[in-house]
Structure 1
Amino acid sequence: MFTFRSDMGIDLGTASVLVYIKNKGIVLQEPSVVAIDKNTDKVLAVGEEARRMIGRTPGNIIAIRPLKDGVISDYDITERMIKHFITKAAGKFFFKPRIIICVPSGVTGVEKRAVIEASMQAGAKKTYLIEEPIAAAVGAGIDITQPDGNMVIDMGGGTTDIAVISLGGIVVSTSIKLAGDKMDEAIVKYMRRKHNILVGERTAEDMKVRIGTAYPRDKQVSMDVRGRDLVTGLPKTIKVSSEEMLIALEETVTTIAEAVHSVLEQTPPELAADISDKGMIMTGGSCLLNGMDKLIKNRTGIEVIIAEDAVSCVAKGTGESLNSMDILEKQMTTESKSY
């Protein structure tokens, strides 16, 4: 089916890709995974279908996550992935779309150029970049054009972006390569160290979602976890509690809380007063970790609000920016090409 042109916003995340089409909203949300046949270099699957293959593929097939820590680690695979998602979301179009892609606030010029080039090769007419905290704030419903201080903590898969925003721009910010993926790694390491069991990436993520916690729970929960015993080499099932997850995740979540505190220390006093009155907004899938908001509130003394539909805030904000290009263009990294 052909459409004339569908301007779109893309949240090109380390863990998942969300596509927002103007006047339609979010039309696609899939994992950032591509399955490749090594012998032929052919793409076998993209998105959810490819994610199901992680850890379960024969020797000639590899499941790749082409983005690492919020930036492109495999340019060619990223280009093919973006092209697949654009076509899947919008179908075929007569005129190439304008695309806004969000990037972490700390990316370098080289990394920005890689995202733009991948988007242009995938079929964009023009490509704009917007920083994740700005997109997250817009998606969370904050009027960023006002002379008020707003603090946004966007916790994704590869990076945590923390920023103070006023008058449509970022006043103070930091981006750390600690988020959902590092939490999964911490769980894998803990299970190996404490229980002598090797668990896969998907099992670790399931544990994080179901029993993970960043702050002591009122009521402990537990789950059965199956992995490979490193002593016998055989499958083994053990019961793991949320109390153990608190220990496994402590270093990662404490570092994130310290980064939030550090940004607050650098914030001008007038804006800090605004943030103290209104609280901080948290967005991104990893902010849904149980107790993450309580940990940050305990560390800073400021109320923490988890945005409604936190997972898709960045995608919504990226897409909605298409309607206010004139306001946001100064704050965007606006590099584009036309064919």
Structure 2
Amino acid sequence: MSHFLDPILDHFADDLAVDLGSAFTRIWRKGRGLVLAEPSLIALTASGEILAVGEKAKALWGWEPRGVRVTAPLRGGAVTDPPAAAAMLEAFFAKLPRFLPGRHRRAVLGLPTQATAAERRQAKDLFHRVGIQEVYFIDTPLAAAIGADLPIDEPAGQLLVNIGADLTEVVLVAAGAIQHQHSLHIGGAALDQAISDHLERTRELRIAPPTAEAMKIALGRCGGTAPCRSLRIRGRNPRKGTAQEAVVDAEEIAAALQAPLDELLAAIAAAIGKIPADATIDHLDRAVLLAGGGSLLPGFAERLAQHIDLPVARVPQPLAGSVLGAARVLDYLSVLRRLEKHD
């Protein structure tokens, strides 16, 4: 039986859906919609003072002043630096309009399907620390499926590939739950690193992480045509310690990305191949759906379709789908609360 105060809490609570990703944090507030979407980064001084978070911290990344470090306190969807993560999250919440102390707050948080019990406890402790009294979890790929309006309640279900910064999850969603899943420790960040490594090796040019990401977005492709032909970038010569500029074209970036893309495509194909044949036979006429920022590279869906010999398409909102799905679960918090009490 639910607590007699539950209906009162339901009426006065401040409800949030949170996608706390390694690369980006997105927060949805019930009644207001998407209220924050910023990089999961924090800049700290040597004494631990917060200098910047989100976009402002990203602007410093790779060009930090002396005595300042920019850190990403999450990796693979797990908290790797709890104090920095708490400080970052607290600063993000402080940006929300009318986010005043004293309100009863509840949150639905997306976590990787593979998250351990210890990682879930750590995430719950993190949110309690920043003033969220009730924390409920949803698997990120399931949230992405809900956010994309997929028919997850059908017995036949749907194959979905969620490509994050450090983690790619291949799941079969059916009958309202994830029936099969495989986690791959590779994602969009590996492509950024490949660009950085290539430029340092071939041009003696060390670039900041945001520059590598910008090049991937502007010049990257997996077949097809890149959005831009070339890009002028700025970095440092690691041997001389001097600033340096270069013009890089899409062909050079395509060559730099070939190896990590081949690895990612092969890993996804292998993961799909591990799902039992009797579980996938009903999906042969359906497109495998892609979610997450890593799915946005031009030509990626077409290349994956060639690897797995199945149609492949992207969900309507690859970046925001997970937080949209978590937001829909906010309407069922009373059910989640009862289920948790009976665990």
**TM-score for both structures, normalised by structure 1:** 0.89
Range moving further from structure 2, 22-31 or 204-213: 22-31
Q: How does 1:189-204 map to 2 (within 5 A)?
A: 189-204=197-212
- Name which of 79, 82, 98 aligns with 1:75: 82
Worse-superposed segment, 270-279 or 319-328:
319-328
Mapped to 1, the partners of 2:322 and 2:277 lie a distance apart of 27
Which residue does 1:89 correspond to in 2? Answer: 96
State the one-letter code of the partner of 2:244.
Answer: K
Alignment map for 1:134-283 (pairs within 5 Å): 134-215=142-223, 217=225, 221-230=229-238, 232-283=240-291
2:5 counterpart residue number:
none
Matches within 5 A, 1:3-42: 4-39=12-47, 41-42=48-49
Distance in 2 (alpha carbons) for counterparts of 1:112 and 1:98 = 16
Check 1:144–1:243 CA distance in 2 against 1; reply closer, same or farther (3 A cut): same
CA deviation vs aligned residue, 1:223-252 (integer Å, no higher than 9, x gap): 223332345543333332222222212222
Post-superposition shift, 1:313?
0.5
Distance 1:134 1:303 in 2: 20
Q: Relative to structure 1, is the Cα distance of residues 126 and 283 closer, same or farther in structure 2, using a 3 angstrom cutoff?
A: same
Taking the aligned partners of 1:6 and 1:317, their CA distance within structure 2 comes to: 18
Cross-structure match for 1:47: 54
In structure 1, stretches of 5+ residues that fail to align are none
Contact conserved, 1:9 with 1:99, CA < 8 A, in 2? yes
- The corresponding residue for 1:298 is 306
**1 CA distance for matches of 2:341 and 2:36?**
25
5+ unaligned residues in a row in structure 2: which ranges? Answer: 1-10
1:176 to partner: Cα distance: 1.9
Q: Aligned Cα RMSD in Å?
A: 2.5
Closer, same or farther: CA 111–25 of 1 in aligned 2, 3 Å: same
Cα displacement (A) at 1:186: 1.0
* Deviation at residue 327 of structure 1 after TM alignment: 7.5
Given that residues 41 and 57 in structure 2 are in contact (C-alpha distance below 8 angstroms), is that contact kept between their aligned partners in structure 1? yes
CA–CA distance in 1 between the matches of 2:121 and 2:70?
25
Answer with 115-124 or 213-222: which moved more: 213-222
Q: What TM-score results when the alignment is normalised by the length of structure 2?
A: 0.88
- Decide whether aligned partners of structure 1 residues 335 and 226 sit closer, same or farther in structure 2, where only a CA change above 3 A counts: farther
Q: Percent identity?
A: 26
SS of equivalent to 1:92: coil
Find 2:128's aligned residue among 112, 120, 126.
120
* Separation in structure 1 between the aligned mates of residue 286 and residue 334 of structure 2, nearest angstrom: 27
1:248–1:327 distance in 2 versus 1, CA, 3 Å: farther
Return the offset for 1:306.
Answer: 1.2
Distance 1:232 1:69 in 2: 35
1:189 is displaced (CA, Å) by: 0.6
Greater relative contact order (Cα < 8 A, sep 6+): 1
SS in 1 for 2:171: strand
Task: State how many pairs are aligned.
Answer: 331
Residues 128 and 335 in structure 1, CA contact (< 8 A), matched pair in contact too: no
Between the aligned partners of 2:289 and 2:325, the Cα distance in structure 1 is: 14
Partner Cα distance (2:288, 2:183) in 1: 16
- Deviation sequence 1:282-321 (CA, Å, 0-9, x none): 1111211122111211111111111112110011111111
Residue 129 of structure 1, CA deviation: 1.5
Q: Cα offset for 1:9? A: 0.8
Aligned pair 1:111/2:119, yes or no?
Answer: yes
State the one-letter code of the partner of 1:113.
Answer: R
SS in structure 2 opposite 1:318? helix
Residue type of the alignment partner of 1:227? G
